[in-house]
Amino acid sequence: MKLTWGPSGPSDGIEAPYKVAITGIGAVTCVGIGKDAFWKGISQAEVTGDRHILDFEPSTWLNPKEIRRTDRYNQFGIAAADLALADAGEFHVDPAMVGIMMGTGVGGLESLENQVVLQYEKGASRVSPFLVPLMMANASSASLSMRYGYHGPCETTVTACAAGAHAIIRAAKTIASGRCKVMLAGGTEAALTSTAYAGFVNMTAMSNVNISRPFDKDRDGFVMTEGGAVLVLEELEFAKARGAKIYAIIAGSGSNADAFHITAPAPHGVGAASCMKLALEDSGIQPNEIVHINAHGTSTPLNDLSESEAIISIFGPDAPPTTSIKGALGHALGGAGALGIAAAALTIENGYIAPTANTKNIDPDIHLDIVINEPRKMSAGPVISNSFGFGGHNSSIVLVPPE
């Protein structure tokens, strides 16, 4: 990972003084809560039905007063962070050296919608005095810093579906620079409201049959879900010294913009390809060393085709085995990138690639080795995870196995 880039990009930049390890994973999803349930859920060959998180009980993590003052998206972030910290185990460090980086696409949309209806039906005096902290996009990162007493950088990234991944990139760079020893980073979303759902349906982005099947010839749009993931990131030597379990090391990252369209990807995935190239250069890893691609893979006709073209342009006709966890989960918007990176880290740990759920017949125009039907054993090596968001926001992260 490079901290500075030269005229030719990260390839001739100055190496960061510290390496960054993933030591804790917390996930809250419609297929399971906690890293083990999440991994089991995304390893299924077929997942359909309601993508709400039906078994989420906020009282497991929050008292009644806290529940009233936190939107559902924030509750997911708190639960995922608690799970990630429990998974990472106890560490002792100056609170000023621990920071928070969280991503979301829309923040507290459910609370905003509810209060708009209340104001319309019963008047402005009935609007909750807590509406602003309920709906603000930075509530998740702020809540976590106050919950744990961490005084390091506390920031929020709002880059649509790439937000969670961008937050993790930002957190990793913060550790790599020496500013912090530990960071909590991830993304969370709870945008399955009636109005948001209608908006996506009316823009014809959603599946008409409510099936997410990335890269399938019959894909007809994405299926929206809710949830998110939080990772504990640590400076590698600090993690080793305390005997922490290390899932993976963040070797490099890329971030750029399509600068093309507010919702559609750039033709032929040129922005996505450039982003993957940046991530590989930042990590010092050659394309032929990558053993697996965790794709953005939303199940929309344009996204899947453009991403496949981007992958071929970087990795060639023999691109590594590729999967999309959105077949199982659906699309968690601002939480999706963090979930993708969590899945990539667990892929390295488990040594096999989860299948792309619901995908049965790969689009003949997509010339990739898409993992379908059952998990596939994977050789140890670097993995790349992609997240691309509305507005042309792109992110790619390269993970490598523990040293």
User: For 43-99, how does the pLDDT look when each residue is reduced to its tens digit (9 = 90+)?
Assistant: 999 999 999 999 999 999 999 999 999 999 999 999 999 999 999 999 999 999 999
Domain positions in the chain: 2-400
In tens, the pLDDT along 351-386 reads 999 999 999 999 999 999 999 999 999 999 999 999
Q: What pLDDT is stored for residue 403 in this prediction? A: 86
Q: Confirm or reject CATH 3.40.47.10 for domain 2-400, answering yes or no.
A: yes
- Told to judge if 331 belongs to the known catalytic residues of this protein, a careful annotator would answer yes
- Told to judge if 161 belongs to the known catalytic residues of this protein, a careful annotator would answer yes
Rg for the chain, CA atoms, rounded: 20
CB atoms within 10 A of CB 245: 14
Report residue 8's pLDDT band, with 50, 70 and 90 as the boundaries: confident
In tens, the pLDDT along 154-168 reads 999 999 999 999 999
Distance CA 207, CA 192 (A): 14
Residues with Cβ within 8 Å of residue 5, at least 6 apart in sequence: 12, 13
CB 96 within 8 A of CB 179: no
Model pTM score: 0.97
| pLDDT over 90 at 5, yes or no | no
Q: What angle do CA 370, 163, 362 make, to 5 degrees?
A: 15
Of the candidates 30, 275, 292, 296, the residue annotated as catalytic is 296
- Told to judge if 261 belongs to the known catalytic residues of this protein, a careful annotator would answer no
In tens, the pLDDT along 246-270 reads 999 999 999 999 999 999 999 999 9
Distance CA 171, CA 140 (A): 15
Of the candidates 154, 275, 292, 331, the residue annotated as catalytic is 331
Of the candidates 161, 166, 180, 393, the residue annotated as catalytic is 161
DSSP-assigned letter for residue 224: B
Buried-state track 270-286, b at ≥16 Cβ within 10 A, e below 16: bbbbbbbbbbbbbbebe
